[in-house]
Structure 1
């Protein structure tokens, strides 16, 4: 019986020691979950600011007709039977302001180089018989416009736009030379300011974060004005206006925030998440 009691006491002591050890085996340590990849945010670009531009173009001018005063036995008004203008180049510059992503305005000045004119008129020669005169001249112009544009949107770095402008043009005609059967005579050319307006469409492309390539088409209309002075019982003469179709190309440099600039990525490391 003593042995039985001793064995019971030993079993009780063994159970008291083993119990905490077995209990400790079931307590799991805290698990640290790996942090998710840090999210990346893009800091939005605030569009706007001043820009400058430079352009070149090749244009075709359309002579919209002309008339002149005649003197002599039957004074009245004559008109050009025909008139054509050759193509020419232009160079221009401007300064503008990008209001937001979709709207901008600028002031531009374009110098239109000499465009040759060739036309014809019908009149009475010195012998009293009807005759046809071959008329040659040329014109140059300085076109000043205030413009507004809508940048429609940007796809693959290309931004199409439409726009319109209003302003004036300084037009200078060279001497008008008349060649008839009886010989030649000439009139001094007219010059002066005229009202002008324009409509344009094109697209720009980001070359750098501040420089854009700009290509497009512009239609300009220059109101009529004095074409030549009086001479040899004819004049003065006035043209009825000039239409100009331009294919343009140029560069724009943005001083302010440009839509060509890439958004700045902002990343942060979240705190580790512990679970029990």
Structure 2
């Protein structure tokens, strides 16, 4: 019985000594861990674009066309520059939107119209009209894009946009030659400049390359439908005109190649985890 009392007393003394020693030791802080990386999406950006157009028009319409028997048109535009600015928002890793405005520089137009027409009640005459003009636009679009994944900092994307265009036709001239059997009659006419607002839409496809967290380069293709253009009333070079007959450029479209830059206003920082803090 006495040995049991000695054993209990020794055990209690040992426990008290251990507790006192533990109370004297400093409390170690919990290990510090690096925070999770920030989400790689979200934020406003500015953009700028330059490019070149490849434009076409379906046909030219005029009030006097109703008098023709046959008509065969060959029409085309020279390429011209494109200059645009915009602001957008990256909603998540794969979806973004922006609003853009651009000036499409003046492109030279050239066309030829071969036609036949009745002369009085009997013979048929033939004519050729050689057209020239220049065309420019302002284009405003609201766009949405889907980013299709990123490989080696390159992100392919597709997109679509809707908006409005203001098409301006300037310096329109018509150099014509009409033949009536053995005779031929030259003619010349011109039209004042005129502008027309249209509904416009576009589809996009391209590649984006992230140079830095705040800077992205784009190389993109775009098909854009600009609507119709119209001239002022066509008059003879002496100013005479017997009928109101402006020339309508029906269904102007363009296949554009553009180089763009996007600047993020709140770029995602480059994540580098902090080292684990350990007590030496």
Q: TM-score range by the shorter chain?
A: 0.7 to 0.9
Count how many residue pairs are aligned between Structure 1 and Structure 2: 231
2:211 is aligned with 1:207: yes
- Selected match of 1:45 from 23, 39, 45: 39
User: How far, CA to CA, are the matches of 2:69 and 2:133 in structure 1?
Assistant: 20
Structure 1 position 226, deviation (Å): 2.3
Structure 1 position 117, deviation (Å): 0.8
User: How far, CA to CA, are the matches of 2:272 and 2:69 in structure 1?
Assistant: 69
- Selected match of 1:84 from 59, 68, 76: 76
Structure 1 position 126, deviation (Å): 11
1:41-93 per-residue CA deviation (whole Å, 9 max, x = no partner) reads: 7523342111000100011001111211029xx85799662211111111100
User: How far, CA to CA, are the matches of 1:139 and 1:76 in structure 2?
Assistant: 26
- Selected match of 1:240 from 237, 242, 250: 250
Alignment of 1:246-257 (within 5 A): 246-257=256-267
Larger CA deviation: 193-202 vs 222-231? 222-231
User: How far, CA to CA, are the matches of 2:72 and 2:197 in structure 1?
Assistant: 22
Q: Which residue of 2 aligns with 1:265?
A: 273
TM-score (norm 2): 0.74
- The gaps in structure 1 that reach 5 residues or longer are 1-37
Contact in 1 for aligned 2:231/2:248 (Cα 8 Å): yes
User: How far, CA to CA, are the matches of 2:69 and 2:51 in structure 1?
Assistant: 37
Larger CA deviation: 227-236 vs 240-249? 227-236
1:120-151 per-residue CA deviation (whole Å, 9 max, x = no partner) reads: 22366999943211111110001100000111
Q: Which residue of 2 aligns with 1:158?
A: 154
- The gaps in structure 2 that reach 5 residues or longer are 1-31, 178-185, 236-240
Contact in 2 for aligned 1:45/1:263 (Cα 8 Å): no
Contact in 2 for aligned 1:86/1:115 (Cα 8 Å): yes
C-alpha RMSD of the superposition: 2.8
User: How far, CA to CA, are the matches of 1:123 and 1:68 in structure 2?
Assistant: 15
What secondary structure sits across from 1:240 in the alignment?
strand
**Alpha carbons of 1:96 and 1:85: their partners in 2 closer, same or farther (altered >3 Å)?**
same
